[in-house]
Amino acid sequence: MKYLKENWSSLLTIVFLLVVGVLLLINPSVHSIIVLRIAGGLVALLGIYDLIMYFKAPPAEAAKGSGFYSGVIMITVGMYCLLRGDQLMDTFPMAVVLYGLFQIVLGYRHLQKMVDDLRMHDGLWWTRAISAGLSLLFGYLIALNPEMSWINIWIFTGIAMILEGAFDAVAFVIRMKRAKTLEAAAAA
């Protein structure tokens, strides 16, 4: 249970990937705008969180990071997607490139977690490596092929999200089982 509490955001990401992936496969023309607006709302919330954390941190510590800058950027981009997602869909190739770039950024985040696992001699580093590889592969494929028809790109995106979510779910379960084993060993 401790593992779930500490990794709730990973679990939410998995559920988000699977649900959105399925919705995009069912009806990409309707759900793509909904997904864009939901993603915009989530990005705006993350921006608000970054700003809160920036102002909660001691000034010298906050000055070392980019919490203010990233928070304002995420709020701006998120609110635009949330309020003007339909206009963004009119410039579809741009939306595709932005989504592909988001996947690439997510892939580099997974890559950092893999490197962290390697540095800490975590035997499950390979789960992060596969997740990073999937995110980077799909991100680059999407970002570098915006000329695909918008229906095809959303179907491809839905498939990519389902595959990433499914693999991340398997990796999550593997890591949760290991955490339970370690907790039991520590309690004994």
Res 71: pLDDT:
92
Give first-to-last CA distance, the chain, whole Å: 17
Q: Rounded CA gap, 161 and 120, in Å?
A: 29
**What distance in Å separates the CA atoms of residue 123 and residue 146, rounded to the nearest whole number?**
38
pLDDT at 92: 63
Q: Calculate mean pLDDT across residues 47-57.
A: 94
CA distance 49 to 46: 5
Full domain range(s) for residue 15: 2-187
The model carries a pTM of: 0.61
How many CA atoms lie within 13 Å of 115's alpha carbon, on the beta-carbon side? 6
Long-range contacts of 144-150 (CB under 8 A, 24+ apart): 144/100, 145/96, 146/92, 146/93, 146/94, 146/96, 146/97, 146/100, 147/93, 148/96, 150/28, 150/32, 150/89, 150/92, 150/96
Average pLDDT over residues 38-56: 92
Q: Quick one: pLDDT band at residue 143, thresholds 50, 70, 90?
A: confident
Domain total in the chain: 1
Tokens 């919490």 identify what position? 67
Average pLDDT of the chain is 85
